[in-house]
């Protein structure tokens, strides 16, 4: 157990304890693919046969760990939903791109996280784990509290058997998508917050309004996402997506963006139709996420048409009607819709937790969208593509009643100014 650096709580990491020293050199600490992978590839049945193969038949045929399908993989998926970086599912990250030669993992950090997950799942024995030290005998850290680890050479074959089991699980899932009628959605969606995109230092001016700085930061991070391979930006080739765009918007939290990609662009590892636990309600959000786990190809980049903003600050400043549905705290909107004047504002619930948007139409009474639609048939929230005019976003203090209009930010003018100043497009 160790104290959490922010909250002082006790958290547990399987790598926080010291293990015996790894006897071989540091360069040999990465676990290699063994000689059985070529034979494994030759034993694979056709996709149609693999799609209907039972768990026990695969365990017997490929000499897999007996608890692979009954315990290890379900635990790995459960851990994935809590913390993807700490799940044994990451064992599949390199299995399709390294041609079964050289080390299984690209670096010690990923290997250490996977071994830690295997320890938690009981797939690796603590007696086989070794701490890795540098030539000067200093420990190699993979996080503040954790030392890099490897396995004894005697345990490498068993670990390769485990890796083959996960590879077979992935291939069977993909075969079921093709031959068992478990069709993926037309698009996969993922929401990401701006602060989770590491675009480096941002060139922002302190003397500008907050709406301008927030909008520029959002656009710089969006450009960063579009200008680099997705794996590089997300720091992993294995990512979760959802079949529901509204769930992706929920995870963007109105302070980021949502991107989508078609199933044919990625390799499906698992999904809620293949492993039912991925369709259960999330313990935190209480929502059915309809999750899919996929592998992103190296070098894959998103197109501009695949990314859309889901950032309230940018929507307010750019006068995007989508910002009306993202109203929060003291921000309000006023606009004309269908020849009627509408004012929208966010109000907290009486409990102080959460809230909803209320609308006032033609100086009438304040009502929720559902109540107003049921009473009058008029929908005060503009539908996508609806004609809306005189849209203004402003803040109003609840106590002084002072109003302050949010200034208008033009993306086109900013990009033109940036090109004139820097001589090149925005980063």
Contact 152, 210 (CB under 8 A): no
Contact 315, 323 (CB under 8 A): yes
With H, G, I as helix, E, B as strand and everything else as coil, classify residue 166.
helix
Q: At CA 265, angle to CA 263 and CA 269, rounded to 5?
A: 60
Contact 2, 13 (CB under 8 A): yes
Using alpha carbons, list the distances in angstroms from residue 189 to 38, 67, 350, 360. 35, 33, 34, 34
Residue 114 exposure: Cα atoms within 13 Å on the Cβ side: 24
Residue 296 exposure: Cα atoms within 13 Å on the Cβ side: 22
d(CA 214, CA 281): 33
Please name which of 50, 294, 54 lies closest in space to residue 188, comparing C-alpha atoms. 294
Please name which of 249, 237, 244 lies closest in space to residue 293, comparing C-alpha atoms. 237
d(CA 383, CA 322): 9
d(CA 279, CA 364): 43
Tokens 């998103």, residue? 302
Q: What is the pLDDT along the chain (427 residues), one digit of tens a residue?
A: 344 333 334 445 676 666 888 877 777 899 999 999 988 988 999 999 999 999 999 999 998 999 999 999 999 999 999 889 889 999 998 786 567 888 998 889 889 999 999 998 889 999 999 999 888 888 888 888 788 999 999 999 999 999 999 999 999 999 999 888 788 999 999 999 999 999 988 988 888 999 999 999 999 999 999 999 999 999 999 999 999 999 999 999 999 999 999 999 999 999 998 998 888 887 777 788 899 999 999 999 999 999 999 999 999 999 999 999 999 988 999 999 999 999 999 998 888 778 999 999 998 999 999 999 999 999 999 998 899 999 999 998 877 778 899 999 999 999 888 774 544 444 4
d(CA 369, CA 378): 9
This prediction's pTM: 0.87
d(CA 340, CA 361): 7
List the beta bridge partners of residue 189: 242, 260
pLDDT on residue 147: 87
Tokens 């809230």, residue? 355
d(CA 283, CA 288): 10
Strand 2-3 and strand 403-405: the pairing is unpaired
Helix (H) / strand (E) element for 239: namely strand 238-242
Task: Name every residue whose Cβ is closer than 8 Å to that of residue 122 and which is 6 or more positions away in sequence.
Answer: 67, 71, 72
DSSP H helix total and E strand total for the chain = 12, 17
d(CA 131, CA 120): 17
Residue 309 exposure: Cα atoms within 13 Å on the Cβ side: 25
> How far from chain centre, in Å, is Cα 113?
18
């Amino acid at each position: 157990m160790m104290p959490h650096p922010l909250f002082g709580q006790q958290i547990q990491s399987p790598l926080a304890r010291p293990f015996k020293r790894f006897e071989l050199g540091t360069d040999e600490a990465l676990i290699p693919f063994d000689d059985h992978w070529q034979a494994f590839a030759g034993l694979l049945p056709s996709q149609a046969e693999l799609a209907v193969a039972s768990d026990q038949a695969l365990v017997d045929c490929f000499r897999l760990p007996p608890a692979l399908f009954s315990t290890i993989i379900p635990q790995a998926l459960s851990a994935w939903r809590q913390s993807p970086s700490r799940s044994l599912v990451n064992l599949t990250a390199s299995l399709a791109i390294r041609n079964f030669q050289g080390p299984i993992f690209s670096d010690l950090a990923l290997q250490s996280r996977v071994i830690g997950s295997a320890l938690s799942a009981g797939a690796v024995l603590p007696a086989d784990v070794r701490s890795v030290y540098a030539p000067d005998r200093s420990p190699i850290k993979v996080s503040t509290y954790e030392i890099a680890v490897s396995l004894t050479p005697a345990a490498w074959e068993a670990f390769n058997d485990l890796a083959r089991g996960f590879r077979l699980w992935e291939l069977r899932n993909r075969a079921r998508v093709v031959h068992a009628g478990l069709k993926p959605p037309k698009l996969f969606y993922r929401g990401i917050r701006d602060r989770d995109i590491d675009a480096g230092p941002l060139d922002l001016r302190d003397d500008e309004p907050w709406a301008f700085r927030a909008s520029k930061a959002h656009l710089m991070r969006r450009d960063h996402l579009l200008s680099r391979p997705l794996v590089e930006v997300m720091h992993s080739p294995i990512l979760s997506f959802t079949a529901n765009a509204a769930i992706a918007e929920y995870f963007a939290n109105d302070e980021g963006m949502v991107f989508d990609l078609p199933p044919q662009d990625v390799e499906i590892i698992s999904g809620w139709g293949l492993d039912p636990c991925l369709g259960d309600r999330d313990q935190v959000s209480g929502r059915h996420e309809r999750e899919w786990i996929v592998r992103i190809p190296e070098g894959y980049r998103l197109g501009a048409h695949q990314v859309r903003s889901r950032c309230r600050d940018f929507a307010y400043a750019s006068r995007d009607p989508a910002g009306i549905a993202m109203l929060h705290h003291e921000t309000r909107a006023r606009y004309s819709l269908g020849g009627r004047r509408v004012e929208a504002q966010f109000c907290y619930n009486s409990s102080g937790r959460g809230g909803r948007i209320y609308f006032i139409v033609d100086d009438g009474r304040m009502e929720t969208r559902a109540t107003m639609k049921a009473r009058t048939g008029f929908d005060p929230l503009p539908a996508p593509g609806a004609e809306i005019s005189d849209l203004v976003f402003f803040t109003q203090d609840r106590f002084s009643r002072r109003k302050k209009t949010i200034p208008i930010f033009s993306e086109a003018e900013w990009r033109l100014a940036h090109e004139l100043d820097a001589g090149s497009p925005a980063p």
